[in-house]
Structure 1
Amino acid sequence: MVFRKLQLPIYILLFSLLFVTQSCEKKKQNNSQKKPDVTEINRLLAIGHKHFENQGFDSSYYYYSKAKIAAELKKDTSRIVHSLGWMAQIQGDLGDYSGSESTAVEALPFIENNDKYPNGSCNIYNLLGNNYLYTFDNDNALYYFNKALNLKIDPIEKDNMKNNIAFVYMEQHNYLDAIKILYPLTLKKEILEDSEAYSRILNNLGYCYYKVGNPKALDYLNQGLKIRLQGNNDRGLTGSYYNLFEYYKKNNVNLAVNYINLAYQQATKVNNVNNRLEFLKILIENNTENQSKKYSLLYLKINDSIYKVRVKAKNQFAKIRYDSSKEKNENLKLKAQTILQQEQQHNKNLLLYFVVGIIITMSIVVGNFLVAKNKREKIKSSYNTEIRIAKKLHDELANDVYQTMAFAETQDLSTSQNKEILLTNLDTIYSRTRNISKENNTIETGPLFVSNLKEMMSGFNNNEVNVLVNGIDTINWTTLESNKKITVYRVLQELLVNMKKHSQCSLVVLTFKKNEKKLQIDYSDNGIGATFDKKKSRNGLQNVENRILAIKGTVTFDTKSNKGFKGTILFPI
């Protein structure tokens, strides 16, 4: 094992020694190089932007990815950041917030502690702020909006960041602090000259005034609406109509319903699916029986469709990134071979050194390729397993949707009891959908890992089942590798899901303890043991075994009829 670890440094050292005699000549050649030609990069960026304007997001993402690879080859940092910013924007627009966050974070090493690209840095920080805002992480949203605000950017961009910060305060119900930011902006000349920015700030300020009981609220809301109507600002009109619905919903129900209808129409016009679903829920609650039924069916249809679209888009973006990375590696390898051939022609006396160098380089490339291929296959296997779990849950969700539709078609929804049942069923469907998404989200392996793990386990507590956790705080989780933290999270999730489906238990006990240089996790419940359907639990328990074996651990299960289920997991820390 020690020899294998030393192979790469030894190869590199030998390779360097072989070509040391040519170092002076290479330095002269490097010094005489011209500035890199960025024409091709700009062409790719222009095509990507054209597709984005035409809502061809797959094609747009593809060309921005190509531009990123081309910029990396040219070591053009500003265009790398620019490409990553647009790629993250597209992912965020299609609801893939975790993917958008990962892409934006990829740009951070290029912009942190670097004031050469203030506009690119502002774009990345703003994207991260919006992603955290949409995923209800207001603290991180404020952090990145403030980082953008502190950059040396033009006044208009600074004002936009201030508006974003005020919006986070609004989400936190901190309306007075939001007003302190928004009101001075309404007096600035550059804001007054920008109708879109001015109407947005008026709308937000009017909403804050409404929340604190200020009588100026309606004037500001109407003024913002008027400006947006004059400018045909379809996206902005959605927010204006919604805020007016909020304003009137308590004292003028008919007018409020009219405004939420207008908001829904605007959201449909600009194809904002999240807003459409939100407004449909409001319409279901505030309409007659027939209308509520129509909106309920439409809600279910849209919700099901967007889930499929987003999964497909996420997979498509991952494939584009993979293909682009593969193309980059091939170009780099071709470039390296070309350089070697040129050097062979310039100095025949070093022909033997070149041959040795090529053999060593190919050995490294093939070795790394095999390692990377094995890693990709493991990741793919784990991913396919999670997809199967998600599909199974989706099938169950489809059954709930069908039952709800059947109930809506066959029952008299004019009665308050049936209407309440329908709303409860819809809420169950919504909760199940969120749970499906949450089970497949990226797992935090940093400082929040333990709290997230506790939250996941406590989520299985209910009136029928009590989950007890012992010893989790005695473990030094900071010393545990990220992949092992992910394995612990997924394995415990598999066991608890399996328990919920099959065990019929009332008590679950999870115990964490350090066993020499290993972490031991004991699971036990007082369920029905081996009498439940083994076929149904097979996949879940098999997933547990596969994950633990992948980190060189062991897992044992002990189950007896009507005597509960026990399991012990042990792996090196």
Structure 2
Amino acid sequence: MKTLLILLIVTTCLFACRQQHVPVLVTQEPDYEKAQSFLHIKNDSAFYYYNKVVGTLVDSIQIAQVYNLMAALQADAGDYYGSQENLLMSLRYLNEQNERHVYCLSSDYNELGNTSLNLKNYDAAIHYYDLALKYARNDTLKQTLLNNKGLVYQKEGNYMQAIAIYDSIIHKKNLDPMGYARVLSNLARTKWLRNTGYRAAPELLTALQIRIQEKDDWGQNASYAHLSDYYMATHPDSALLYAGKMYNVARQLNSPGDEAEALQKLIQLAPAHTVKPYFTRYQYLNDSIQTARNKDKNQFALIRYDVAKNKMENLQLQKENADKKVQIIQQRILIYGVILLMVAGLFTAIGWYRKRKQRIIREEKLKNSRKVHDVVANGLHRIMSELQYQPVIEKEKLLDKIDNLYNKSRDLSYEKPPVYEEGFQTEIIQLLASFQTDAIHIMTVGNNEHLWENIADDTKEHVKLILQELLVNMKKHSDARNVAVRFEQTDGQIFMQYTDDGVGLPAEHTPGNGLKNTVSRIKNMNGRITFDSDPKKGLKVRISFPIVYIP
């Protein structure tokens, strides 16, 4: 069943992004054509060429489409967080006011709904499906989106809401036979889940008959699964029959996920003396699926790294060629510059000597101000956020947090090393969770124990306070609904990327103490920070620093 859902995801993505008023397919790009030729045959190669071509495109709708296709391939491989990252990239290139973009907007939000459903984040899935419906212009696509939304309500146990959605679809006059069978089967299954006494067999069998007539193998696979579940408690022999049919169809479709599901049913229903071959096959299949998914996830990450590395090497080569052409001019400028620097240095030394004491005083005040802002102000804001959005607050934990904040405020004048009793990975998770609300969804990628093993404690504290400052600014000023934080270790560096879909930084923005402190901390860590802000696309902050840092 999971493989069927993934196939529907990819089909919807391809259908939605191509139903444009103006054709947008990238037919003149060789790398794009190569990617298309590998699609559904060797998906890692397709991903490689999509990722390669996306950096050469100019048309925003083409860029969005390629990111959408890459996300679908990642979802197919079970890399849901990587898929969400590429979908957010796709959304950055789309304009809801442009009618050419609405189909890809609908497809992106549908895919975000599907990944959220697979991650069992049901509230987020409903939110994204509603956004997808907002931009859907095709009746068939709308019916697919409503069916997906009904599936979410079914999964979370809200059967009445799911039934209401299926009832609204099934009476549509323009519903094709395969669509009708799908909705009928889902509706009957939902009614049965709500009331196990409901006679769902006639509707389930009707849906199966339509799918057989339409030669819908994937639909038959789903019907056999529903019928096996339905008869399991009351007619085990019938349940066993349909589980066997599902197993045969899944093998014909070469769908390991559905084959594994059918084997689970057979192991449960078959006579004891016939179970062993099913169990052996299930163990082998389950291990193969997990191995393949892990391999695909790593392969996608390596592909993106290799393409980015090649682009950087090409840019470096171009820069070296350009440097050779201006070398003589630079040498002359250097000579004149040295003379000017010597003159300026004389005057600067005099001024520096006079202002030295004043600068030391200002730096000390700035250092104390930064401590107060990061430790006390942002700490209080984090506690207030938890009080505001968490339905239940344990008094003892709250008192511990306030006492911890009090002790930190008393120790501001001392340089005490931080202590993370539960591990720094957990510290980051708790920090992000304290800012997540019903309206703000926060995703994180790459935060694991191995990442932080060689990082100095002082650097970890800097990272925590920097991330806390970004989240506080997001909460106060950005109106963001989605936040993504990604960590990555590459070539002796830690790369951290913060992204939100808020209003970004104002054009005439003057950094306050918080952002100034953030920039100062990055410099102290021998790192780099860049801000990429757009009022329509949100804010992106890239940070990098060495893995081993001695303060």
Which TM-score tier does this pair reach, normalised by the shorter chain? 0.5 to 0.7
What is the identity, as a one-letter code, of the residue corresponding to 1:256?
Answer: A
Equivalent residues of 2:27, 2:33 under 8 A apart: no
Aligned to 1:117: 101
* Residue 52 of structure 1 pairs with residue 36 of structure 2: no
Q: How does 1:413-452 map to 2 (within 5 A)?
A: none
Seen in structure 2, the aligned counterparts of structure 1 residues 270 and 70 have a Cα distance that, compared at 3 Å, is farther
Once residues 90 and 303 of structure 1 are traced to their aligned partners in structure 2, the CA distance between those partners, rounded to angstroms, is: 20
Q: 2:166 aligns with which of 176, 179, 182?
A: 182
Q: Residue 123 of structure 2 aligns to which amino acid in structure 1?
A: D
State the 1:77 CA deviation: 1.1
- Contact 1:513–1:519 (8 Å) recurs in 2: no
**Percent of residue pairs identical:** 29
Do 1:210 and 1:218's aligned partners in 2 also have CA atoms closer than 8 Å? no
Counterpart contact for 1:203–1:220, Cα < 8 Å: yes
Q: For the residues of structure 1 that align with 2:129 and 2:283, how far apart are their CA atoms? A: 35
CA 1:156–1:354: 2 relative to 1, 3 Å: farther
Higher relative contact order (CA 8 A, sep 6+): 2
Deviations 1:170-200 (Å, cap 9, x if unpaired)? 1112222112111232222321xx3332221
- 1:228-261 deviations in whole A, cap 9, x for unaligned? 2122222222211111112211221100111122
Structure 1 residue 138: Cα displacement: 0.7
CA RMSD of aligned residues (A): 4.2
Aligned CA distance change for structure 1 residues 178 and 476 (closer, same or farther; 3 Å):
farther
Compared CA separation, residues 253 and 44, structure 1 to 2 (3 A): same
- Pick the aligned partner of 2:154 from 166, 170, 188: 170
Conserved 8 A contact 1:475-1:514: no
Alignment of 1:168-247 (within 5 A): 168-191=152-175, 194-213=176-195, 217-247=200-230
Task: Choose which of 290, 293, 299 in structure 1 pairs with 2:276.
Answer: 293
Partner residue of 2:28? 40
Maintained 8 Å contact 2:147/2:183 = yes
Per the alignment, residue 257 of structure 1 pairs with: 240
Question: Which residue does 1:389 correspond to in 2?
Answer: none
Gaps of 5+ in 1: 1-35, 358-445, 455-467, 478-511, 525-539, 555-571
Q: Report SS of the residue matched to 2:283.
A: helix
User: 1:271 corresponds to which residue?
Assistant: 254
Q: What SS does structure 2 have at the residue aligned with 1:271?
A: coil
Q: Structure 1 residue 151 and structure 2 residue 135: aligned?
A: yes
CA distance in 1, matches of 2:259, 2:297: 21
Quick one: which amino acid aligns to residue 31 of structure 2? Answer: L
Deviations 1:191-223 (A, max 9, x none): 1xx333222112111212323448563232122
Residue 63 of structure 1 pairs with residue 49 of structure 2: yes
Confirm or deny: 8 A CA contact 1:129 1:141 kept in the other structure.
yes
Matched with 2:13 is none
- State the secondary structure of the residue aligned to 1:103: helix
Q: Take 2:268 and 2:187, find their aligned partners in 1: how far apart are those partners?
A: 27
Pair 1:97 & 2:80 matched: yes
CA contact (8 A) 1:207 1:243 kept: yes
Residue in 2 that maps onto 1:21: none
Cα distance, 1:544 vs structure 2? 7.0
In structure 2, the residue matched to 1:133 is: 117
**Are residue 83 (structure 1) and residue 66 (structure 2) matched?**
yes
Relative distance call for 1:152 and 1:238 in structure 2 (3 A) is closer
Distance 1:56 1:355 in 2: 55
Offset, 1:156: 1.6
Superposed displacement of residue 315, structure 1: 1.6
Question: Aligned partners of 1:80 and 1:472: how far apart in 2?
Answer: 49
The answer to whether residue 411 in structure 2 is matched with residue 516 in structure 1 is: yes
3-state SS of the aligned residue for 2:160?
helix
User: What is the letter of the counterpart of residue 129 of structure 1?
Assistant: G
Q: Which residue of 1 aligns with 2:496?
A: none
Alpha-carbon distance in 2 for matches of 1:57, 1:472: 51
In the alignment, is the contact (CA less than 8 A) between 2:61 and 2:94 conserved in 1?
no
Looking at structure 1, the residues matched to 198 and 260 of structure 2 have their Cα atoms a distance apart, in angstroms, of 31
Match of 1:27 in 2: none
Query: Does the aligned pair in 1 maintain the 2:96–2:105 contact within 8 Å?
Result: no
Unpaired segments of 5 or more residues in structure 2?
1-23, 335-381, 391-395, 423-447, 463-520, 523-551
Match of residue 293 from structure 2: 310
Aligned length: 356
| Displacement after TM superposition at 1:266 (Å) | 2.5
User: What are the residue-to-residue correspondences of 1:412-561 with 2, within 5 Å?
Assistant: 473-474=401-402, 516=411, 520-521=418-419, 523=421, 546-549=454-457, 551=459
State the Cα distance separating 1:148 from its structure 2 match: 0.4
CA–CA separation in structure 1 for the residues paired with 2:311 and 2:158:
48
CA contact (8 A) 1:166 1:178 kept: yes
Change (3 A) 1:276 1:329: same
CA contact (8 A) 1:264 1:279 kept: yes
Q: Secondary structure at the match of 2:49?
A: helix
1:405-437: CA deviation from partner (whole Å, max 9, x where unpaired) = xxxxxxxxxxxxxxxxxxxxxxxxxxxxxxxxx
Contact persistence 2:102–2:135 (CA under 8 A)? yes
* Corresponding residue for residue 445 of structure 2: none
Partners of 2:219 and 2:74 in 1: CA distance? 21
Distance 1:520 1:325 in 2: 36
Alignment of 1:326-337 (within 5 A): 326-331=309-314
Distance 1:100 1:261 in 2: 34
Q: In structure 2, do the counterparts of structure 1 residues 328 and 218 end up closer, same or farther at CA, with 3 Å as the change threshold?
A: same
Per-residue Cα deviation, 1:433-456 (whole angstroms, up to 9, x for no partner) = xxxxxxxxxxxxx99x999xx9xx
Q: Aligned letter for 1:64?
A: Y
Q: Distance in 1 between matches of 2:421 and 2:312?
A: 45
Paired AA for residue 207 in structure 1: R
Specify the code of the residue in structure 2 equivalent to 1:265: N
SS at match of 2:38: helix
Would the alpha carbon gap of residues 521 and 300 (structure 1) be closer, same or farther in structure 2, given more than 3 Å must change? same
Matched to 2:191, the amino acid is Y
1:333-348 equivalences under 5 Å are none
